Homo-oligomer: A and B are copies of this chain.
């Protein structure tokens, strides 16, 4: 039996598994799986893919990302054909408690990244390929299976341009052009040249093939792994529902399973399936990447009398901490001179990746790095992380170890106006399950929190401020995720003011002015917004007449609501950005939005 006949046998088995799992589940996407069956069978079992099935985390394994995440029936069928899932497993597909979820979940050991929101796989692949080529210097390749519908997502083109820019010859995309989207024909239908022209214009090497012809499929992969200095895209014409006559190229079958009768008819068309065969996957070569031994970072030494911007402290922290966290990589969206990640870039250019103004791809690439064991720190203006909310949201499902830093938070950025003001970022990151949200108010806190973030396994968001702010703490002060600080207090406190960032400094000014009038207030630095220091907040609620929160952020989902959620039954008065912001001096805008010391003093007096 020749190689192609063997692959055809495996493909038949895979089609059987696709139909079996979806019919058992009563839902799923069999037709979108059938179209890519030869493409994936050829890759895994045609001698191209290198993977150690016993060690999915072997750093030399080729990586496979299903960007068309709805094709899980095919994805699981592949691992079944490789002997790693049985029919009983496949019958748990989409059932509560099974790791074989409707879209790939990382609870399943062969899932490279959780996908299902379209247009996300290629950016993740960019991160994995960047890691191989520039960081780990390993020869693994990253393969990304793409749907034709999802090529409409801008994130794809962000990834396509960056992959070419970084000459990622270890990244191979496979577009399954089955012509039909969810509700009808895609923008380009079967116009394979349309894809070929666009992708090659962006600097990729490409090939157009019949995606059901194993000879062409294998030829494409063989060519793909020989190309140098360019990523490679296989543009494959396929038929949705291929192999089952009443499904083939039929509209109305997207995301629908066959009933048992249809399933039997389909099996009849497939012909005899050899359940005994197991597809072979070659093991990868054994390469080792150079591992740096962590060395404790030097201590910080900020001058208490010299105001310093937290955004700048962020850059210094990255540079200082790299020896201690040698898995660190830094990505920035063309604003490294504003976020100050450029300080790191100048010190460690080989670990800094300029991702240009393409935040979706930046967040996706960070996930790729994280999945390969790196600790990516990703920075842009806080406002512009809204651009990547879908990627950020999806990252939680890949248990991502990513640190985001948003600079230029709030109206206090001043003259540039609302387009550049991050006013929703706390709310956005708070919705992400288990994502830590940190908001340092001075350079010392920033350094300590960047360190805490680097050491924390999981997603972290750090919010920094544009303007210089006074140093509040000594260089030895300790800060922890979930902590807070009482920065001002007396025995006679009546009102507690809770703030972070620029409004903490306004609160301290208010404290000082109120003291002149013999009004004592407590001021809490809520540098960890999620998780919150509930004990400290409860103590404040218990001992204060009133609680005020002050934040340079929208009232919804920010510090005020976080504190309210931590203090059920306590009346929390929230000062936040409630008026449509505009250009102006920082102090004018803080005053206008009623989050400056004047508004705090007024509110305290109202509450006395």
Task: List the B side residues contacting A564 at CB < 8 Å.
Answer: 561, 564-565, 568
Contact present for A27 and B415 (CB under 8 Å): yes
Q: Which residue of B lies closest to A147 (CB)?
A: B357
**Contact partners of A154 in chain B: CB under 8 A:** 153-158, 358, 360-361
A496 at the interface (CB under 8 A from B): no
B568 with A557: CB separation less than 8 A? no
Q: Which of A97-105, A367-375, A499-507 contacts B (4 or more CB under 8 A)?
A: A97-105
Which residues does chain B contribute within 8 Å of A5, judged by CB atoms? Answer: none
**B residues near A555, Cβ cutoff 8 Å:** 565
- Taking CB atoms, residues of chain B closer than 8 Å to A228 are none
Given the interface contacts A96-B592, A573-B568, does A182 sit within 8 Å of B384 by beta carbon?
Answer: no
> Does A96 contact B562, Cβ atoms closer than 8 Å?
no
Q: Are A431 and B103 neighbours in the complex by a CB distance under 8 Å? A: no
- Kindly supply a per-residue 1/0 record for chain A positions 402-439, scoring 1 wherever the CB is within 8 Å of any chain B CB and 0 otherwise: 00000000000001111110011001101111000000
Docked-complex contact A98 and B357, CB < 8 angstroms: no
Query: B415, A94: Cβ atoms under 8 Å?
Result: yes
- Total interface residues on A, CB under 8 Å, equals 103
Q: Tell whether, in the assembled complex, residue B165 and residue A158 are in contact, meaning their CB atoms are under 8 Å apart.
A: no
For A161, A570, A582, the residue with the greatest tally of chain B CB atoms inside 10 Å of its CB is A582
Report A424-474 residues with CB < 8 Å from chain B CB. 424, 427-428, 430-433
Contact in complex: B201, A431 (CB < 8 Å): no
Establish whether residues B561 and A98, one from each chain, have CB atoms under 8 Å apart when the complex forms.
no
Contact of A101 among B150, B394, B583 (CB under 8 A): B583
A572 on the B face (CB < 8 A): yes
Q: Which residue of B lies closest to A202 (CB)?
A: B198
Residues of B within 8 A of A424 (CB): 389, 393, 428, 431-432
Q: Which residues from chain B contact A573 at a C-beta distance below 8 Å?
A: 568
Tell whether A589 is near chain B: CB-to-CB under 8 Å: yes
Q: Does A187 contact B (CB under 8 A)?
A: yes
Question: In the complex, what residues of B have CB within 8 A of residue A419's CB?
Answer: 69, 103, 114-117, 394, 397
Assuming the contacts A419-B103, A583-B102, asked whether A358 and B182 have C-beta atoms less than 8 A apart, the reply is: no
- Which of B182, B557, B574 meets A337, CB within 8 Å? B182
A342 to B342, CA, bound (A): 49
Bound-state CA distance A418–B394 (Å) is: 8
A542 within 8 A of B: no
Q: When A417-B101, A584-B97 are in contact, do A386 and B390 touch as well, CB less than 8 Å?
A: yes
Q: State which residues 243-264 of A face B: CB under 8 Å.
A: none
| Cβ–Cβ contact A96 & B589, under 8 A | yes
For the complex, give the distance between the alpha carbons of A27 and B387 in Å: 26
Residues of B within 8 A of A96 (CB): 582-585, 588-589, 592
Contact yes or no, B582 A105, CB < 8 A = yes
Q: Is A401 an interface residue (CB 8 A)?
A: no
Contact residue among B187, B335, B387, B433 (Cβ-Cβ distance under 8 Å from A165): B187
Residues in chain B near residue A383, CB distance under 8 A: 117, 390, 393
Inter-chain CA distance A383–B432, complex, in Å, is: 13
A181 within 8 A of B: yes
With contact pairs A397-B419, A416-B116 given, residues A182 and B335 touching in the complex (Cβ less than 8 Å) = yes
Report the separation of the CA atoms of residues A557 and B557 in the bound assembly, to the nearest whole angstrom. Answer: 4
Counting CB contacts under 8 A, is A608 at the interface?
no
- Judge whether A334 is part of the interface by a CB distance below 8 angstroms: yes
Contacts of A183 in B (CB 8 A): 334-338, 342
Complex alpha-carbon distance, A303 and B530, angstroms? 46
Residue pair B387, A390 in contact (C-beta under 8 Å): yes
Task: Please encode chain A, from 295 to 319, with 1 for each CB lying within 8 Å of some chain B CB and 0 for all others.
Answer: 0000000000000000000000000
Q: Provide the A3-28 mask, 1 if CB < 8 A to any CB of B, else 0.
A: 00000000000000000000001011
Segment 86-108 of A: residues with Cβ below 8 Å from B: 94-98, 101-103, 105, 107
A347 shortest CB reach to chain B, Å = 16
Q: How far is the CA of A210 from the CA of B190 in the complex (A)?
A: 38
**Residues on the B chain within 8 Å of A288, using CB:** none
Interface centre among A95, A96, A342, by most B CB within 10 Å? A96
- Cβ of A571 under 8 Å from chain B: yes
B-side contacts of A157, CB under 8 Å? 154, 157-158
The residue of chain B having its C-beta at the shortest distance from the C-beta of A116 within the complex is: B419
Q: Which residues of B contact A114 (CB under 8 A)?
A: 418-419
On whether the beta carbons of B201 and A187 are closer than 8 Å, the reply is no
What is the 8 Å Cβ interface bit string for chain A, positions 157-169, against chain B (1 contact, 0 not)?
A: 1100110010000
Q: Mark A568-608, 1 if CB is under 8 A from B, else 0.
A: 11111110001010111100110010000000000000000
Task: Please name all residues of chain B whose beta carbon is closer than 8 Å to the beta carbon of A356 when the two chains form the complex.
Answer: 149, 152, 181, 186-187
Known: A152-B158, A201-B201, A573-B568. A98 touches B583 (CB 8 A): yes
A46 at the A/B interface (Cβ < 8 Å)?
no
- Which residues on B sit within 8 Å (CB–CB) of A589? 96
Quick one: closest B residue to A530, CB to CB?
Answer: B556
Contacts of A336 in B (CB 8 A): 183
- The contact sample of 28 A-B pairs, CB cut-off 8 A, is A101-B417, A102-B417, A103-B418, A105-B417, A105-B418, A105-B582, A115-B419, A116-B420, A119-B357, A153-B357, A154-B158, A183-B335, A183-B337, A186-B356, A187-B356, A198-B201, A386-B393, A423-B431, A427-B431, A433-B554, A433-B580, A556-B565, A557-B561, A561-B561, A561-B564, A564-B564, A564-B568, A569-B570
- Listed from nearest, the 6 A-B pairs whose CB atoms lie closest are A154-B154, A116-B419, A96-B584, A557-B557, A569-B571, A201-B201
